[in-house]
Chain A
């Protein structure tokens, strides 16, 4: 199962936080900053998986005595992907397929790109309700329910029109506007699961 889905930018500012189990706000923030430290220190050419952040590592090692079954409930995999200025993070249990999660993030970003037409960080900042809606069409309660792009986009659109970015916040404003579209070029990676 998926334990959490996070999006934050290169400065560690959260853009989307979704925890599929209830967690204190302060601990959420600590987890985010721990993951950000890990993710921002990756040497070039590393894999898309992170070692467990200290917060999670501590709780999973304390359970070493418990059965293998319970291990399946404990978050053990942190997958990330970097698009332009943004990091997409999935924390999941060992029952998820690591490579498929990389694809899942790709689907999510592509769906956003479809909804916003050439999505950039600004779109996500100002329309974070749409971010949640899109994720809600893909994952419910930590279980993936849809990986088909058409259906995801249709599902979000059915909930109402997707707002555009405010006119006066052009791509030039703020310098954050690097299009994620560049990141989508990564589709040429070795596996392409869907």
Chain B
């Protein structure tokens, strides 16, 4: 088999062979690996230790590539216990790489670890010490602490420094370890003769401990200061500075001592990392803060901030840019004004190519938003998003030309590199980033109940644009396990929710918000091809708006039609439930006019409409989601009743005036009108008192069953659905005013290029149709303004003499210059400028006086003023005003999920909560070592107990020996051959199994010697018993113990 380089006459693969084989099996690696794993499985069971270790090494390699080896944990222990160093090392490596919190063989390793920690060779000692941090548990830490402590005094510096760190990791899970080891560690730290790398390791550990319990380390300050001044090790100096940054707030006097060396370092060090940490430390440690020596500090402050500013500014090294932003992010907590001064350079970073830098800059910017810079910040972000989505859609168009079935959402994340290739200048952003940025935009805008929002019209346009940009949720690849809650799905819903919040809260702008929603619905209908499902989460809030404020729609009929087209394609149930409600609200508005006459035309159109609605609703009567099912059934029945009534009502003729059926004009509309809905603060719903006389057990109707059985017989004959559907489908689509003119689409691409110079103008991030609407609104606003010269409409309203002359000369057919004029019209800035020039104040737009309704609350001190407190997080707390049922269940689910997440440890996090409760009791300087005598230390107590136990064991053994001898004497006296007993015992002893041992004990009991003896030994074996199957090998591992027990019996 293969060219077995190291295989001596055996047929197994070495690690080399495995890797080489992997490289030779390109293409069918999976199969090859499966074969290898199979081989390893048998090899690792071999008695040959070399073979076992090699198999383990291969498994560790395969584990790195992603093949689970948890099944081999017992074999890991076997190899760990090998006598040969190179095998032992493989075993320890395997333990480090493959042991997980649920690895149950770990408790069998305790003795082995103890033995190896106590070994004489430093290379062997290092193995358990380095492995312990990976596998440590509180109980393991407890039993190994006593063995590790002496290693702090080992003659090799390498062992000492590793031990220090391991003790720290032990302390994270078992804080007592720190209490016991701290005096010794401190002694090492204080020792000027100590090896410099051990000192550095201790400083690292102290720095990690420092931020958890800074008070305990204040007494060390003089020594730490000494190390900082003449340390010479940059890594250690960085850690010391970080440590001092946590100490100075507790001891302000340190500041004066620290400033000279720090400023000295700043001026002299050639290491950028140290320079940066000095600056960072000065700022973070509050050294910039106010104090008596003001001028000196002022100097330092300006020195630091200018250095940081230099790092952030345009042409500096990207790494410095990043760390400077990181520093600003920390400073902003304590010194916001210092950061605010750097707004200009920070804003530049938002447009950086590098996403890491962008995100850090965004973190900062979010805290710096004010009503003055909101628009400019959001504009920057919108431009990025627009460019990215344009790049994406361009490419999709290209792709869709060849393959119309390509799923856009899939490839968005699947192949980023291909996307980049197609479009150099603006590579599409990753979805996660897009989602993140959209979330930030919404948060910035809605902060403090829209405190920074000056122009809601603009905000509505931004929202409309965002709905289009938002990435489609990745429906399929959301595996439920660890991944974040469905990010993308949420984001478009968030945008929609914002739209709805504005519609509900800002009455002045409601009409515009409703039109934006109307536009969104019609666009969703026209953009998404009829075969594709609707997945945008924005539909739910948007549908709610058009339903609730139907009277403000421009074209309720069209909207209803769009909605009816959309409903069958909606995939997520919550959105569907809202849509159904909206459909009926719209229907009530469209059909329920009680002023209009009941003409034959009206009768037939209303009948058709009802049939259509019923047809759409009917499939949902069996929907699995109860909310949808319930609404569908209710509305179907209601509409059937109404249809009956309408059919029975003869239309009015010229002679007889007929009223429309009351069910249509009164009953249905009254279901939805009445109270205006206001936004309610989060949690208020729960404060609604339950009425005293509410009895939920009381039947709704005394004779419900009879009513229900009657209802069954009351079925309407279903009409020919196909006929109506055909009618609606064949009807030429009415030209919706909302749909985008084709010319805009044509001009899209060139405009992108042209507008790159208008950095601040809106067309760089808003779609052409939105801009067109804005323009129209502006015209409307200025129509009565005498200073504003309105533009000629396409039909030719304004006519300058020259124009008429030209037109006369050339005739209508030869109107050549009309084409360039048309194009010029599309340029907004050119058009807007005369208007702005003639506006007396230079201000672009007077700030609107807009009242933003606060959330309604109940309880909580009663006053409405409380809303100010509850609304800062309006962004999270919205959408509890509609669909309370759906919302309630949803919010319950999300809070439960949040709670679960909080409980669950975050990935890769170190557990250290316990250590925070531990006080090192460093009060008296001299108490350092004396403290160890304190009886409260469990470690010491444990040691004492162990000693006592050992004494007791000795005593027991002595007694046992005595009694055994006495017994033998008796037997000899009675003539029983001594040999017989001995031989029997030996047999059992060689059995090496647990059975042998247990039998042995039984015989002893028979002899009637010791009840007590069973105690300690039995305990040791109890552990083993738990793993009955593996017992044989375990005993081999426990050689140490067995060896100790053997001589006792041998006698």
User: Which residues on A are within 8 Å of B, measured CB to CB?
Assistant: 1, 3-4, 13-29, 31, 37, 40-43, 45-51, 54-63, 65-66, 69-70, 72-75, 91, 93, 95, 97-100, 102-104, 125-126, 128-129, 132, 136-137, 140-148, 151, 155, 158-160, 166, 169, 174, 190-194
Contacts and interface: CB of A to CB of B under 8 A. Distances in A.
Interface string B74-110: 0000000000011001100100111111000000000
Contact of B85 (A48, A160, A194): A160
B134 A146 contact: no
Tell me the dominant secondary structure on chain B's binding face: helix
Given A62-B901, A99-B276, A55 B482 contact: yes
* Residue from the set B133, B169, B319, B911 with the largest chain A CB neighbour count within 10 Å: B319
8 contacts: A3-B909, A14-B65, A25-B66, A46-B318, A47-B354, A69-B211, A166-B20, A192-B270
Interface of B: 5, 15-16, 19-20, 23, 57, 61, 63-70, 85-86, 89-90, 93, 96-101, 122-123, 126, 129-130, 132-135, 158, 161-162, 165-166, 168-169, 197, 200-201, 204-205, 207-208, 211-212, 233-235, 238, 242, 270-277, 317-323, 326, 353-357, 359, 416-417, 420, 427, 430, 432-433, 482-484, 898, 901-902, 906-913, 916
Nearest to B98: A25
Nearest to B161: A145
A16 B86 CA distance: 19
A68 to B, nearest CB: 9
Contacts, number: 252
Contact of A129 (B89, B132, B320): B89
B161 A146 contact: yes
A158 B910 contact: no
A58 B908 contact: no
Given A49-B319, A99-B272, 18 more contacts: A14-B64, A24-B100, A25-B68, A47-B322, A56-B908, A58-B484, A59-B901, A63-B906, A69-B916, A74-B909, A75-B907, A97-B277, A100-B273, A103-B273, A128-B61, A129-B57, A140-B133, A160-B86
Contacts of B272: 99, 190-193
B197 A145 contact: yes
B910 A73 contact: yes
A23 B907 contact: yes
Contact of B201 (A26, A93, A145): A145
B235 A140 contact: no
B273 A193 contact: yes
A14 B64 CA distance: 7
A128 B64 contact: yes
Contact of B100 (A17, A22, A128): A22
B162 A55 contact: no
Contacts of B273: 97-100, 102-103, 191, 193
3 nearest CB pairs, A to B: A141-B133, A191-B272, A59-B906
B908 A23 contact: yes
A154 B1009 CA distance: 57
Nearest to B93: A132
A158 B99 CA distance: 26
B235 A25 contact: no
A142 B906 contact: no
B90 A129 contact: yes
B82 to A, nearest CB: 15
A91 B908 contact: yes
B906 A60 contact: yes
A48 B907 contact: no
Contact of B359 (A51, A102, A104): A51
Tell me the dominant secondary structure on chain A's binding face: mixed
A73 B204 contact: no
A126 B197 contact: no
A158 B452 CA distance: 65
A102 to B, nearest CB: 7
Contact of A46 (B89, B354, B902): B354
A29 to B, nearest CB: 4
Contacts of B907: 23, 27, 31, 55-56, 59, 75
A190 B270 contact: no
A120 B484 CA distance: 38
Contacts of A40: 417
Contacts of B19: 125-126
Contacts of A158: 122-123
Contact of A51 (B15, B123, B356): B356
Contacts of A142: 133, 169, 910
B201 A143 contact: yes
B5 A42 contact: no
A106 to B, nearest CB: 11
Contacts of A3: 908-910
Contacts of A95: 207-208, 211, 242
Contacts of B235: 100, 103-104, 144, 147, 193-194
Given A58-B483, A103-B273, A143-B208, A47 B68 contact: no
Nearest to B317: A190
Nearest to A48: B319
A15 B57 CA distance: 14
B205 A143 contact: yes
A166 B357 contact: no
Nearest to A21: B908
Nearest to A33: B66
B496 to A, nearest CB: 22
A3 B912 CA distance: 14
B212 A69 contact: yes
B438 to A, nearest CB: 15
A134 B984 CA distance: 54
A192 B484 CA distance: 38
A128 to B, nearest CB: 7
B134 A141 contact: yes
Given A54-B432, A58-B483, A194 B271 contact: yes
A28 B238 CA distance: 30
A194 B16 contact: no
Given A59-B906, A63-B902, A141-B133, A22 B101 contact: yes
A105 to B, nearest CB: 12
A72 B276 CA distance: 19
Nearest to A136: B130
